[in-house]
Amino acid sequence: MISAIHTWWNFFRLAFSERMVYRGDFMLGTLMRFLPTLTQIFLWWAIYDVVADSAGLTGSSTGSGSTSMPGGQIAGYGYGDMVAYFLLVTVTRAFSSMPGLTSGISRQIRNGEINRFLIQPVDLVSCLLAQRVAHKLVYYTVALLPFALVFFLCRAFFVNGWPDPLVILVFVTSLMLSFLLGFFLECSLGLAGFWLLEVASLGFIYMLFNFFLSGHMFPLELLNGLPAWMTTIIDWMPFKYLAWFPAAVFLGKVDQQTMLVGLGVQIAWVAFFIFLTRLMLYRGLKRYSGFGG
């Protein structure tokens, strides 16, 4: 156990120092990440303006200044809530997204690079997890200032202010769990490379479902008009815990009981994909053959 922890720490330390050297572009990249949100601010302004006009509502003043926002609600979201939601989703997606993980694992299997994990006392999943933890820590260390700047400039959209300490605790916990869920979910997709020659199509299907069902594109409350059996399936799938759930918790869109139940379901999904990842790695290595020097 001590040896495994020491090995993991060395991977994490080296990955962290390596990324701190060359990832200064994270600061600029973070600001660019918010550019689509700027487009959404104007888009949703137009949508809410039409809703307000059709309902005979006028703009509502928010904050300490004279900022006027369109009135009306869509699926329980006012205009300020909607913009705040997309800002928070940008944060949650930065935790749960794992670019290149699925393709990287499958490429190592296909090219035989995984051989080094078979002849050295190093675990593939633990090594990748250490690298991703280091990556996220470096990202948020460098990108903290742009995040703070954007949220300060957009503070008027958070019309309900800061939530209570319990909600903050659940929000932070759900962010950590969304990172683990995203990591082990994509790990399991990459490990399908033991059985499939190419997993690019599988990854594309996952990204498609993730984009629509995680709440990345729009709040999932907008899907309430679907048949009950479809919303039930979507509600129990893991995708919403990658983006929608942490943002909805922060904005108070779920009551306390639903929030705690959702956190339990998120933990269950993380445990499931950890087990699935380990099972696929074990079974995959049983059938894997490596040749060459």
Q: How far apart are the first and last CA of the chain?
A: 31
Q: Give percent above pLDDT 90 in the chain.
A: 38
Q: Which of 132, 227, 225, 126 is CA-nearest to residue 178?
A: 132
pLDDT of residue 62: 45
The larger pLDDT score, comparing residue 223 to residue 8, is at 223
pLDDT at 19: 63
Q: Where are the domains of the chain?
A: 2-59+68-285
Task: Note the pLDDT tens digit of each residue in 96-115.
Answer: 999 889 999 999 998 888 88
Range among 19-23, 71-75, 141-145 rated most confident: 71-75
pLDDT band at 67 (very low <50, low <70, confident <90, very high): low
**Model confidence pLDDT, tens digit, residues 28-43:** 666 666 677 777 788 8
Distances (CA, A) of 220 to 95, 152, 172, 235, 277: 19, 26, 20, 9, 28
- Whole-number pLDDT of residue 122: 79
- What is the chain's mean pLDDT, rounded? 84
**What pLDDT, on the 0 to 100 scale, is given for residue 66?**
41
Any idea which of 128-132, 162-166, 286-290 has the lowest mean pLDDT?
Answer: 286-290
Share of the chain above pLDDT 70, in %: 86
Higher pLDDT among residues 38 and 85, named by residue: 85
pLDDT at 88: 93
> Distance between CA atoms of 51 and 21, rounded to whole angstroms?
49
- What average pLDDT does the segment 132-159 reach? 83
Q: Which residues of 219-243 are buried (b: 16+ CB within 10 A; e: fewer)?
A: bbbebeeeeeeeeeebeeebbbbbb
pLDDT digits (tens, 9 = 90+) for 252-278: 999 999 999 999 999 999 999 999 999
Q: List, for residues 199-215, the tens digit of each pLDDT value.
A: 888 889 999 999 889 99
| Minimum mean pLDDT range among 127-136, 139-148, 190-199 | 139-148
State residue 288's pLDDT score: 85
User: Average pLDDT in the 167-194 region?
Assistant: 95
DSSP code for 164: P
Q: In the predicted model, what is the mean pLDDT of residues 120-147?
A: 83
